[in-house]
Amino acid sequence: MKITIFGTGYVGLVTGTCLADVGHDVMCVDVDSDKIARLKAGEIPIYEPGLESMVKHNVATGRLRFTTDAKEAVSFGVLQFIAVGTPPDEDGSADLKYVLAVADTIGEYMQEDKVVVDKSTVPVGTADKVKEAVGKRLASRGVKLGVEVCSNPEFLKEGAAIEDFTHGARIIVGTDSDRVKRLMRECYAPYIRLQEKLMFMDVRAAELTKYAANAMLATKISFMNEIANLAERLGADVEQVRRGIGSDPRIGYHFIYPGCGYGGSCFPKDVQALERTARDVSYDAELLAAVESVNNRQKQTLFTKLANAFDGGLKGRTIALWGLSFKPNTDDMRDAPSRTLMEALWEAGASVQAYDPEAMKECRRLYGERDDLVLAGDRVQAVKGADALVICTEWKEFRSLDFAWLKGQLSMPVIVDGRNLYDPESVREAGLMYYAVGRGDSL
């Protein structure tokens, strides 16, 4: 099957590569010529485990190609996936300018009937707008061609995107057209195990499903962070509470890890966009607003704990920071809790010695060269000469730690752990003060 994918960002690239890997002919198109040139040379612009070799392999077989030529791309695929970005605009709603520009391009160049597939996370009602935009362009050309638009939201987690694509919990397709159903079935047919997970529904239900899923997961996290904050004040250990409630299958163990707040390009943006959508239909989404404000407060928690540990005297201090990305196995720092912390530390006159296994380049790109930021070569370098250690991301390599050694490195024996990585008793036995999230006297 011939498939065109607009957008070679995270979603477009993973989708295109996975579909090529199971035998489809895929053309990925992007307006960024630099990016396309790099992709053609097998250079991947993002860090995603397993993706690079998969791209290289499929480019070599000829099933995966990259282009900037929109005309060629539109004529290529029966299915035209839209996987371009939807950045939040000032009021938090998703900005559709890139999505609608692709719709316009499809209308401009199509010479036969096409099926447009919305893969980007877009507000409810966008499929209708895309259809209208393509139709308008067709009308201006004076041609009569059929276009159908379906919603096929992605549920990929950064760091596990290939696994999520190939073994996802479901494939959602929003359409009322039998032809589209047939084509989408054919598109996903090679994923035999996913066949029974293919769910057809109305377009608007599919669009809302994506937001509802992310908002539910964000709600679980904010809920757990709220319980953790309570646990701190009540002298209870939230890790024990987490295990206790997770054992009830109605609650489950997933996404109930308290921490220093959720980040990334999806949860913060999607919760806000859904709130905005609610406002547009005159509904006050109180729970969503609370999920967001609990998270914003939670992202301050590491700074508050550090400031308390130093009695407010952070000026001139050097803080070692492990983990910059918003979660492990990615170099993505969008809305990462580490950023809120670093910016607050700088504001308070402290400097940061940071280490992350993947996000160092990204950190430099975001903050440039500055006196109060040292990017250390490894985790050991990061703590050399530091006053205290803070952990923002639960990378595997941070999980085991020689506490006695660490105590010898830090001028103040303080660990602030935003991910509850260690057993509080073992840390304290080594003579360190341990401030985790929701673990008894962690305030």
259 is in an annotated binding site: yes
Q: Given strand 147-151, what is the order of strands in its sheet?
A: 64-67, 25-29, 2-6, 79-82, 114-118, 147-151, 171-174, 198-201
Contacts of 441 (CB under 8 A, 6+ apart): 232, 235
CB neighbour class for 134 (10 Å; exposed up to 12, middle 13-18, buried from 19): buried
258 is in an annotated binding site: yes
35 is in an annotated binding site: yes
Known catalytic residue at 363: no
Q: Is 150 a residue that touches ligand UGA (CB under 6 A)?
A: no
421 is in an annotated binding site: no
Which of the residues 225 through 264 are near ligand UGA (CB under 6 A)?
255-257, 259, 262-264
Tokens 């440039």 belong to: 368
**Strand 79-82 and strand 351-355: pairing?**
unpaired
- The token pair at 302 is 């590491």
Residues 308-327: x/- map of binding to ligand UGA (CB under 6 A)?
A: ------------------xx
Q: Is 291 a residue that touches ligand UGA (CB under 6 A)?
A: no
Return the number of the residue (254 or 315) whose C-beta is nearest ligand UGA.
254
CB 325 to ligand UGA: min, Å: 9
Q: Are 227 and 241 in contact (CB under 8 A)?
A: yes
Tokens 């935009």 belong to: 133
174 is in an annotated binding site: no
CB 257 to ligand UGA: min, Å: 3
Length of the chain counted residue by residue: 443
Choose which of 149, 221, 274, 383 interacts with ligand UGA (CB under 6 A): 221
255 is in an annotated binding site: yes
Q: Is 123 a residue that touches ligand UGA (CB under 6 A)?
A: no
Q: Is 214 a residue that touches ligand UGA (CB under 6 A)?
A: yes
Q: Are 58 and 64 in contact (CB under 8 A)?
A: yes
Of the candidates 335, 351, 416, 427, which has an alpha carbon nearest to the alpha carbon of residue 385?
A: 351
CA 431 to chain centre: 37
Q: Is 339 a residue that touches ligand UGA (CB under 6 A)?
A: no
Query: Of the residues 150, 266, 363, 392, which is catalytic?
Result: 266
Choose which of 155, 188, 223, 346 interacts with ligand UGA (CB under 6 A): 155
Choose which of 39, 238, 266, 432 interacts with ligand UGA (CB under 6 A): 266
Total number of residues that touch ligand UGA (CB under 6 A): 20
Q: Is 81 a residue that touches ligand UGA (CB under 6 A)?
A: no
Compute the distance between CA of residue 157 and CA of residue 168 in angstroms, rounded to an integer: 10
Compute the distance between CA of residue 203 and CA of residue 212 in angstroms, rounded to an integer: 14
Which active-site residues does the annotation give?
A: 266
Task: Give residues in contact with ligand UGA (CB under 6 A).
Answer: 121, 154-158, 214, 217, 221, 255-257, 259, 262-264, 266-267, 326-327
